[in-house]
Amino acid sequence: MSEYDTVRRAVEASGARTGKERAVVYQGLRTQRRTSLRKLPSRVAASAKNTVRSLNDAIRSYELDLVAGRVRDWSEELPAAQIDPSLDTVTNAAPPAPPLSRLRTLAPLTLRTLLLLRRAGPAASVWIVIEPLMQIGIILAIYLALGYTNIVDMDPLPFAVVGTSAWFMFRMTYIRCAVGPVDESLILIPRIRAVDILACRALAYGVIYTLAGIAILTFLGLLGLGAPVERPVDVFFTWCVILVMAFSFGLILRTMCAYVPVLQRGVPWTARLLIYSSGVLFVTEQLPDFIAKPMLLNPLLNALQHLRSAYFTTYESHDVSLAYATLSSMAMLTLGLILYAANRRKV
């Protein structure tokens, strides 16, 4: 009996219907295989390690057939030349994916991520809006307590909404990409990698907090408390730069945590440091030069402050550089993808 048949019969015997249920079955098969290898003499076990790889190849083949709706016994239908007897499984590699097919893969994955977030319950959906509102209230309370009626020619309420919405998108994206779990059943599908799932997670949080920010600003506009958008295209581009920066930072942290797992506990603390150094609560024009200059090395501060500059007609920042923020996000993305490619088995 081929490895493919072993996987198929195990899934059918368990009655698994969902991806998570099948992932449990697959993990059980791997555990059984490794346990049986430990019982063999060391020399025999060393030569039999390929059977674990053979099992993983069979799992991927089964998942591909399951998605295509053509689960069958390949050992009976394929010619003998297409079956590797040393692995006892089909070794046909999936053809390379054309560029446009990547988009057709990422779009349903992003939608799936949004649906999973929605299934977390109504409380989680409400909290996505309430948490930014709480942060907006804190910023307003601080400035009102200090006697400010405007912040460098910006109305305090829109100032707080723009900065807080972008900040929460950045925070949730990089934390979920850094320490969030990845569904193993999806990785088993050919042409889907862990980095694809993380990218779709980043896109999902980008969509959520974009809609939340637009909803709050629209509501303020209806109440006469909003501010007109000066450069919408510039705002959109800067928003995308912040999202790419968040995904890249999360990918870098995820690779570091794979080697030093204890760092996962410190990931949430990085948000507490960044919120006070990234221009969420202030702009650099409010700070002395000896404090503002080193803080401008932070690319997130450059992006957030330029976002406000592009949004408000009454404020123009001359301290920050969008080019610096964009190049920094591209450099972080390149580094994150290189680290992922070099350590994708651990990540």
CA distance 33 to 28: 9
How far is CA 9 from each of CA 3, 14, 47, 96, rounded to the nearest angstrom?
Answer: 10, 8, 26, 29
Write down the mean pLDDT value for the chain. Answer: 78
What pLDDT shows up at residue 78?
39
Q: Is the pLDDT of residue 266 over 90?
A: no
* Pairs from 285-293 (Cβ < 8 Å, separation ≥ 24): 285/152, 285/317, 285/319, 286/151, 286/152, 292/319
Using pLDDT thresholds of 50, 70 and 90, give the confidence band for residue 237. Answer: very high
What pLDDT shows up at residue 69?
57
pTM of the model as a whole: 0.69
Strands (E) in the chain, as ranges, are 83-84, 89-90
How far is CA 51 from each of CA 38, 113, 333, 336, rounded to the nearest angstrom?
Answer: 13, 34, 36, 32
DSSP 8-state symbol, 97: P
Task: Give whichever of 102-116, 174-188, 322-336 has the largest mean pLDDT.
Answer: 322-336
Quick one: tokens of 226?
């909003």
Q: Name the residue among 273, 249, 279 with its Cα closest to residue 162.
A: 279
DSSP 8-state symbol, 90: E
Nearest 10 degrees: Cα torsion 116, 122, 128, 133: 170
Distance of CA 87 to the CA centre of its chain: 35
Residue 151, helix vs strand vs coil: strand
Quick one: tokens of 10?
């195990």
| Burial environment of residue 324 by CB neighbours within 10 A (0 to 12, 13 to 18, 19 or more) | middle
Q: Name the residue among 244, 160, 248, 249 with its Cα closest to residue 206.
A: 244
CA distance 268 to 165: 18
Using pLDDT thresholds of 50, 70 and 90, give the confidence band for residue 121. Answer: low
Average pLDDT over residues 109-113: 80
Q: Is the pLDDT of residue 130 over 60?
A: yes
186-215 pLDDT, tens per residue? 666 666 777 888 888 899 888 888 888 888
CA distance 62 to 66: 6
Enumerate residues 6+ apart whose C-beta is below 8 A from 67.
189
Q: Name the residue among 71, 69, 54, 60 with its Cα closest to residue 2.
A: 54
21-49 pLDDT, tens per residue? 888 888 888 888 777 767 666 655 555 55
